[in-house]
Amino acid sequence: MSLNIKRPNGTEDILPSDVHKWHTVEKIARETAESFGFSEIRIPTFENTELFQRSVGETTDVVQKEMYTVIAKETKFTLRPEGTAGTIRAMLQNGLLNEALPQRVYYILSCFRHERPQAGRLREFHQFGLEMAGSAEPSADAEVISLAKNILDRLGLKNIELYINSIGCPKCRSEYHKALRSYFSERKENLCDTCIERLEKNPMRILDCKSPVCQEIAKNAPVILDYLCEDCSGHFEKLKKYLANLKIDFKVNPKIVRGLDYYTKTVFEFVTTEIGAQGTVCGGGRYDGLIEQLGGKSTSALGFAMGIERLLIVMDKQKCDFMTPKKCDIYFATMGENALEKAMNISHELRDFGYRAEFDLIGRGIKAQMKYANKIGAVFTVVIGDNELETGKVKIKDMEKGTEIEIALDDKFRINFESLYFNKMMDSIDDTEIGGNENG
């Protein structure tokens, strides 16, 4: 291709043959969130750059290295690298926080980060995420974590571990920052350039650095849990109690600090070791300071985001069930103008009743039409020619069994088709119960 119109690195096409997998994840995530009292919110794909600088944080990888920013008529805009900042901005701008609390919203959206593309790490990826604003209680943390766990369970995922940590509040963090600064200062010459800069501004970010050398140094760094104030440690203890009550297994991992600056107190990750280094399928936590930082009244809040591509990689690997892709319910093979018009009319009626009905649109001969019907896996086919139009009767063929039944091509066609269809579906349920092997 001489024109450079290929897909950019780190982006993916989601093809019709795979889209049912996405529908499965989206449906389960939506239904689960709704059952917990969350409603969907949709926000713009880009925001003023300042929003992300202020919320995600100036010293984070996301802001320092990964943002897609454009300057349009002297204003700087950035493609959203995550969903929380835009969601909180929208809640503030539309006064949602003046309504009944807690406010609970979820979203399914694409995010953009200029990272090095690899399996499970893209430049455009998709998140299912949610935010709850207006509760400072540890019960809210347990609610949000159990919601995430619920989604992963309903997707059928196995061997996913939950790690939790508390990274405290600004109060306990100031002592901790001192300890970190002194630890890392002694090892400064080996840190990467970005981390040397972070040492003064935000030493906790060093713990999240992806450089192997920095990670090695960070291994023995002081842990935040030893520095928590009474309020933060009480909060963490209660969360652990609630999770135990819900029989949700977890491990406390003091190394989790998360890649975004706005977190306070609880942070958590759901991780699998089955897909290599990009194993974090869900990350989240509490961010009690963010809303005030963005100009709202001080309001506690928390949330999480799941990477949909990563979920799908694990689901494929573990052979989880997906919704069955919708197939053509009935295909009309037609000969001649009159037959075509008849097929159009009946198809429209069937479609109004929710069936997927198709007929020839490219002027193929009858043999080629049947070949096509086979290819698309049509459940039933009907041939309409002059003969059928004259007698007012057609043969409807069950493509799987090869059996044919004659039915009238009149006002009752739809009703007769529906009962045939219903019986076939009941048969296939019986077959599976007797021990047939249905997949999908």
What are the DSSP E strand ranges found in 288-434?
Answer: 301-307, 330-334, 357-359, 380-384, 393-398, 404-408
Residue closest to Mg ion when measured from CB atoms: 259
For residues 197, 200, 202 and 206, what is the CA-based torsion angle, rounded to 10 degrees? Answer: 50
Q: Tell me how far apart the terminal alpha carbons of the chain are, to the nearest angstrom.
A: 38
- What are the DSSP calls for 11-73, one per residue? -----TTTHHHHHHHHHHHHHHHHHTT-EE----SEEEHHHHHHHT-TTSHIIIII--EEEET
Q: What pairing do the DSSP bridges indicate for beta strands 380-384 and 330-334?
A: parallel
Q: Does 82 bind ligand ATP (CB under 6 A)?
A: yes
Q: Does 417 bind ligand ATP (CB under 6 A)?
A: no
| Residue at 286: amino acid letter | R
Query: Binding residue for ligand ATP (CB under 6 A) from 86, 102, 259, 289?
Result: 259
* Closest distance of CB 99 from ligand ATP, Å: 27
* Closest distance of CB 398 from Mg ion, Å: 52
Q: Does 125 bind ligand ATP (CB under 6 A)?
A: yes
Residue 309: contacted member of ligand ATP, Mg ion, none (CB under 5 to 8 Å, by partner type): ligand ATP
- Angle at which helix 19-35 crosses helix 138-154, to 10 degrees, equals 150
Query: Binding residue for ligand ATP (CB under 6 A) from 80, 89, 113, 173?
Result: 113
Residue 20: contacted member of ligand ATP, Mg ion, none (CB under 5 to 8 Å, by partner type): none
> How many residues line the site for ligand ATP (CB under 6 A)?
21
Q: Select 258 or 265, whichever has its Cβ closest to Mg ion.
A: 258
Q: Which of 242, 266, 93, 260 is nearest to 168 (CA)?
A: 266
Neighbours of 20 (CB within 10 A): 14
Query: Binding residue for ligand ATP (CB under 6 A) from 121, 177, 238, 240?
Result: 121
Taking CB under 6 A as the binding criterion, the range among 114-122, 192-200, 362-370, 376-384 that sits at the site for ligand ATP is 114-122
Q: Does 20 bind ligand ATP (CB under 6 A)?
A: no
| Pattern 275-314, ligand ATP, x by CB under 6 A | ---x-xxxx---------------------xxx-xx----
* Closest distance of CB 2 from Mg ion, Å: 35
